[in-house]
Amino acid sequence: MLRISTAAAALLAGLVAFAQSGSAQAQALEKPNLDVAVGGKTLIAYLPYTIAERMGLFEKEGLKVTTHDFQGGSRSLQALVGGSADMVIGAYEHTIHTRAKGANIKAVGLMNHSFGLVVALAKAKAASYRSPKDLVGMKIGVTTPGSASAIGLAVLLARDNIKLDQVSVIAVGTGAQSVAVMKNGQIDAIANFDPAILLLETEGVIQAVVDTRTQAGRDYLYGGPSTGSGFYTRDDFWAKNPRTVQAFVNAMVKAMNWMYTAKTEDIVALVPPEFYAGGSKALYTKVVEVNRGAWSKDGLIDMKAAEATYKMLKTHEPALQNVTVDLKLTFDNSFAEKANAAIAKR
C-alpha cells in the first residue's frame, strides 16, 4: 500500500478540489467557448476588452474567448446577426439601429461614454473650414460604412442639413491602414479614432475640426451625454446562456474597475506593442491619457445617455424617423449590476 505524507495528501486533495471546482465552473457555463467579434481591436475605445484578456479575467470566469477582429463595427455586427459571433465589442448605438430593423440585439454593458471620434482635414484644407457644409464633395475616410465613425460623420453633416451621400465616404479601416491612406493623400479628411488620429496629429498631417475626446466636442456633436462602446449580444443568446453572459460581463467589469483607478503606465504595460501608435510606447501612453476620462467604471448604461444617443441618431437616420424604438429593450444592466455587487463584497 502506497503511503504518502500528511502534507502531500493535503496538496493532492487541494489539487483534486481545484480540478473539480474548475470542472464544475465549466459545466455551469452553458457555452464556455465564446466567439467575440470586435470592430477594430486596437481602437482605444475597446481597450477594456484587451485588458480583460491580458489579465486573464475571462479564464478566471471559466471562459475561453476567441476574438474575431474586423475593420469596423458594422462588420462585427453582421457577424453577430449571421451567427458566427456570440458577443460583440462595439457601439451601443447599433442596438438601436437593429431594433428599428427588427433584429433583437441588446447591450449588456458599456465601456465608455464616448468613442472619442475626431473629424479632421488634411492640414492644407483645414484653414478654409468654417462649417460642415465645407465638407461637401470631399473624400472622407471612415472605418467602415455604417460604423460609429460613419454615423458620427453623418451627424456632423446633418448640422448643415447635408446628406452623407454629398461626400465620398471611403472605408479606410483602423490603425496603420487608415494612417497610410491619409498620409498618402488618398482622402481629404478622416473620421476616426485614436491611436490613428493622435499619430496623424503628432506628425502634422491633419487638423481636427471636431474632437469628441473633449467635453466641448462631445457637446457640440452629440448635444450632451451619450453612449460610446459597449458589449452586446442577441436576445436569444443571452436568454439561453445567462451564466455565460454573466461570466463575460464579470470579466469586463473587473477590467474596467481596475482601469478606472490604475496608473496610466500600468495600463500601457499590459498592452501588446502592436497596439502602439507608430510603434511608440510614449505616444500610446498619451493616447490612453487623453481618452481615459470617458471610460466607465461600472459598465452601467444610463437611460438619459441612451435617450441622447437615440435623439442624435434620429437627426440623420431615415430608418429611425418613422419607427419608435423602446430603449428599455436595447440594454440590460442586470449583468453589470451583479458583477459590481460581487466586486463590492470582496
Q: Where are the domains of the chain?
A: 6-114+227-344, 118-222
Burial class of 126 by CB neighbour count within 10 A (0 to 12, 13 to 18, 19+): middle
pTM of the model: 0.83
Cα dihedral across residues 167, 170, 175, 176: positive or negative: negative
Backbone angles phi, psi at 99, to 5 degrees: -60, -40
Predicted pLDDT of residue 23: 42
Predicted pLDDT of residue 88: 97
Render pLDDT for 91-120 as a digit per residue (tens, 0 to 9).
999 999 899 988 899 999 999 988 889 999
Backbone angles phi, psi at 303, to 5 degrees: -60, -35
118-222: CATH class: alpha beta
Predicted pLDDT of residue 11: 38
Domains 6-114+227-344 and 118-222 agree in fold: yes
Distance CA 202, CA 212 (A): 17
Predicted pLDDT of residue 17: 43
Specify whether the backbone of 180 is left (phi greater than 0), alpha (psi in -120 to 50) or beta: alpha
Render pLDDT for 222-241 as a digit per residue (tens, 0 to 9).
887 789 999 999 999 999 99
Instruction: Give start and end residues of each alpha helix (H) in 4-66.
Output: 6-28, 47-54, 57-60
Q: Name the DSSP letter for residue 71.
A: S
Would you say 52 and 252 are in contact if contact means Cβ atoms under 8 Å apart?
Answer: yes
CATH topology for 6-114+227-344? D-Maltodextrin-Binding Protein; domain 2 (3.40.190)
Mark the ranges of the chain whose per-residue pLDDT is less than 50: 1-24, 26
Strands 229-234 and 105-110: antiparallel
